Structures are given as C-alpha cells and as structure tokens.
Structure 1
Amino acid sequence: MPVQDTSRRNPRCGERLLAARAGQTMDMAPDRATLASLRAPPLRLPADRSRSAPWETASAAHRSPVPVTRPTPRRPADGRLDSGVDMATQSSGVRRIVSAFKAGFAAATESVAAPASRHRRRVALTEQHRLHFDLLCKAMDDPALTAVLDTYETEIPLDKQRQFLFANALYINALHFHRIGAMSRGELYGHLRVMGQNQVFRDYWEATRHHRKSLPVTSEEYALGLMMDDLIQELTDSDSDEWWVVGEPPDEPE
C-alpha cells in the first residue's frame, strides 16, 4: 500500500518530522518550532546581575569604576596574624635591648668590683709591709744579716747601719698608711717633716739617694721621694725655729 505524504495535508506534522531529522526528539522540541527557529543561532541569556562584584550596587550611578583592594594580613603557620614587622627589624630591636642590658650589667658589676679590688690591694700592701718589717727586725738583731743590706756607697759602721734600717722602717711605715688610704698626702707630708728634723734620718736619706734612682719615674714612691728631697732641703735651708711650718703641703692627687 503506497505511503501517503501526510505533510501536505497536515503542515504541523510535517514541521515535527523536520525537527526530528535535525537530531531533536519529540519531547525536547518546542511546541511551535519552525524552520526558521531551527536554523537560528542559540539564544544567549543576559548576565546574571546577582553575581556582580561586591562593590557594585543596584544603582549604576553608585558603582565604583575601580575596585578598592586592601592588603590582607599574612597569617603564619601558627595561626597568628603577622604584625607587618620583618625579622630584621625585630632582630635589631632585640640586639639593642641586649646591648643596653649588657652595658647596665657591666656598670653594676664594675661598681661592685671596684670596692672589692681596693680591698684586695689593701690586703696585699698590708701583707707586703708586714713581711718587710719582719725582715728589717731580723737584720737589726743579727749583724750577719745586717751585712746583707749593706749597699751604701761609703763605709758605714754597723751601729749606724742598724740606725739606717730603723729609719727605713719608719719611712716605709708612713708610706704604707698613705697607700692604703689611712693617711692623706698632706698628713704624710707632716709626718715626713717630723722625721726630717732628725739628723740620723737625714743621714740615712742622703746615704740611700742612689737607691731611689732605680725607681720608675712614673711610680708613686719616686714622686714621694722627690717630695721628701725638697722637704729636707727646705728644712736644711730654713733658719726659723718654727720648723713645723716649713714647706708647703702638696695638693691631693686627682
């Protein structure tokens, strides 16, 4: 039986057949698809305004042409926000704090160590003075030991040598009290002036002049020896009976 062309009698049926031939199913094809709609390009829907950038508003007049970006704080691995200060700046600050602490600690240590150092020096000087005096006492008691200290340029009798040893003990004793701070230079000058009044002491001082030449010129004992030289010279040249006012006490060293 011949197949009848039903598309001529039913145009709507023919359009559906054409749509099926184009790869569409009867369910997906539109109800009123035409030949023109099949050939037309797919429609593009307008952009969804609801997905616009956060800075855009419903009114176009208030839209910002350039989005404002703000720096986001860095978050290290431990979860704390980065303060923005780099490690070099932090290290520099730490070094300054450590340096200030060390300087303060050194100053405090020095202030504490200074009295201790002076105390050790006084102890050492006292021990040295005690030993020196013991040796002088032994030399004065034993003529054989007195001969060991006979370093004079001229011949000195034994008894005179013993007197010189005792004069030396008096002089060294006064210097010792000055060195440990128990006697000022002015007080030392007064004691030496009393010693210089004695002729035996003046003879001892003259006989031991070459001994003091071996001292360093920068030492305190050398300076005190020069002071004693001047004092004895002034006492010798003075014709005043008031010997206790002879000479001028030196200024205290700084």
Structure 2
Amino acid sequence: MIDWLDDASLEFPPSHRALGPDTDAPGLLAAGGTLTPERLAAAYRRGIFPWYGPGQPPLWWAPDPRMVLKTADFKLSRSLRKTVQRFAATPGCEIRIDHDRAAVLRACASTPREGQDGTWIVPELQAAYVAWPAMHSVETWVDGELVGGLYGVNLGRMFYGESMFMRRTDASKIALCALVCLCREFDIPWIDCQQNTRHLASLGGAEVARNVFEAHLAAHAGAATPGPWTYHPDHWHRLLTST
C-alpha cells in the first residue's frame, strides 16, 4: 500500500517505502495532494517527482536506481559537435531561456512517447509548473520559430530535467547542449534524468542508487540558487573546447 497525501501538509513518506522492483509500479511512493508550486518544491528537495496520466490522481515517485547526467561527463559526439557548430554559426539560430515556458510545456505534452498512451504532462501539471519560478525552459529558435527545447527545475546547485521536444532534427539535443553549458557555468554538477534510456546513456548518463542521489540532493539542492538564467553565445565556445 502507498500513502495518500493530505492537503493540510506538504510532508511525504520516506523514500524507502516506495514500491520495490518486484511490483507493477516500482518507485511509486504516494498519491493525491493538490498540485501546487509549494508541494512540488517540497517533493523535489526530497528527490520525489509527479508522474501520472489523465483521469488519475497525482502519483509521486522516488525510483531506485536514478538516472543522472553528470555535466562533467557529458558526451558530445562528433556529429552533435558539428550540429552545434552549424547552429552557433547560422544567423537566425538562437537559444532562449524562459522565453515561452508555457509553449514548451504544451509541446512536450503533445510529443508522442514510446510505450506511452497519452501524456503525463496533464493540464493541471502544466499550470503548476508555469506558476513555479524554479521551472526553466531552454528553447531552440530558428528564424523566430520555436523548433525544440526542454524544461526542468533548478533548486540550488541541482537541475532536474523533465521533458524535451523537437520539431526539427536535433533541436532538442541542441537545447540539451545549451543546458549543459548553463549548468557548468552555474557549477551544477548533476542533471536528474529520472529514468534510464538508451539515448541518455549515449550522452553520458548513468544510474546511481537512490541513497546516493538523496545524499547529493542534501549537499546541493539547498545551496543558493544561481542566476539569472541567461544564455550567451560564448557558452558554445566553452562547451566545444572543453568536451
């Protein structure tokens, strides 16, 4: 059995009570609770995140192990390096930060996901994230058109990646490269990726045990939050010369 959250409290059960690997929902910790920026902040500081579908109550997860991308270990392949170089040198191509967070959320919600029926980025979740200043979008723009991007959460020296989308080839990868640049500039050593995928592993992502992840959060998520979240073209040069 999992806990049902009480709206009168922002407390979560300890993560060791999450369902185990031999269950139908490994990592599921709790359900319920009104989705608000305050509840999201309380969850993320504990390494807990919401993930549920239309018609379901909020479901809260704390998986073990956890997929993370250590920004120092980011793998910039030869082909992706060339893509970034072309993008950086082409007039009309630019990275924007938080220019249209709601549009990025809507685009991520409408992007089909392998093995998923529908979206977990339901309207009430979109509304809660847009109202939360800790949520940031990294956006790929070409000639005034939003062609790709990602969104996630920054707390202290920690970034939690949530979802990405693309409308042109490699547009989401370009946004991820920009995010890595920003995290390096802000001394953010880990990007939380939640679940293991082949794509993330190819970019340098790796699994860590939940207790290791939680120890990292304790050391980094409570630090002073860097900012402002702005992007400068010089960041590309530093990425290309240091990766």
Q: TM-score range by the shorter chain?
A: under 0.3
| Larger relative contact order (Cα-Cα within 8 Å, sequence gap ≥ 6) | 2
Higher percent of residues as helix: 1
Please say which structure displays the higher CA radius of gyration: 1
The TM-score normalised by the length of structure 2 is 0.25
